């Protein structure tokens, strides 16, 4: 009897740890933002989702995050913004199971996130 309770407890613990991690990916989507190698030294990219800063992407880093289904506003701006470029902004309609990939690069004096 004690052995079956121990096994049942172990199974419940494993399900608790594994299942929540897999649920968001099935119901939502992922957002990835990379930056080109020649983006610039000492310049980061601030990433905002729905008005909330979610990441400050410095050289050699990339953002990977979860998006719930529905409409989201993605904004990116250089930090520091020495060229006074306008923030890049796009509204996306997120579908479950999708992977939205963008690459941050310069187009003239403006930051642009180019979809892959």
Q: How much is the pTM? A: 0.75
Tens of pLDDT, residue by residue over 29-60, are 999 999 998 998 899 999 999 999 999 999 98
**What is the Cα–Cα distance from 17 to 6, expressed in whole angstroms?**
17
Architecture of the domain made up of 25-115: Sandwich (2.60)
- In tens digits, the chain (116 residues) has pLDDT values of 555 555 655 544 454 444 444 444 458 999 999 999 899 889 999 999 999 999 999 998 999 999 999 999 999 999 999 889 999 999 999 999 999 999 999 999 999 999 99
**Extents of the domains making up the chain:** 25-115
Order of strands across the sheet with 88-94?
Answer: 52-57, 44-49, 70-79, 88-94
């Amino acid at each position: 009897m004690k052995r079956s309770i121990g096994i049942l407890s172990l199974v419940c613990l494993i399900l608790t740890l594994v299942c929540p991690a897999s649920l968001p990916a099935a119901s939502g989507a992922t957002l990835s933002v990379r930056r080109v190698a020649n983006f610039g030294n000492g310049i980061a990219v601030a990433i905002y989702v729905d008005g909330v800063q979610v990441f400050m992407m410095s050289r050699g880093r990339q953002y990977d995050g979860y998006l719930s289904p529905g409409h989201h506003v993605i904004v990116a701006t250089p930090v520091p913004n020495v060229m006074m470029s306008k923030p890049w902004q796009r509204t996306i309609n997120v579908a479950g199971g999708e992977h939205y990939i963008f690459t941050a690069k310069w187009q003239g004096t403006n930051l642009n996130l180019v979809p892959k």
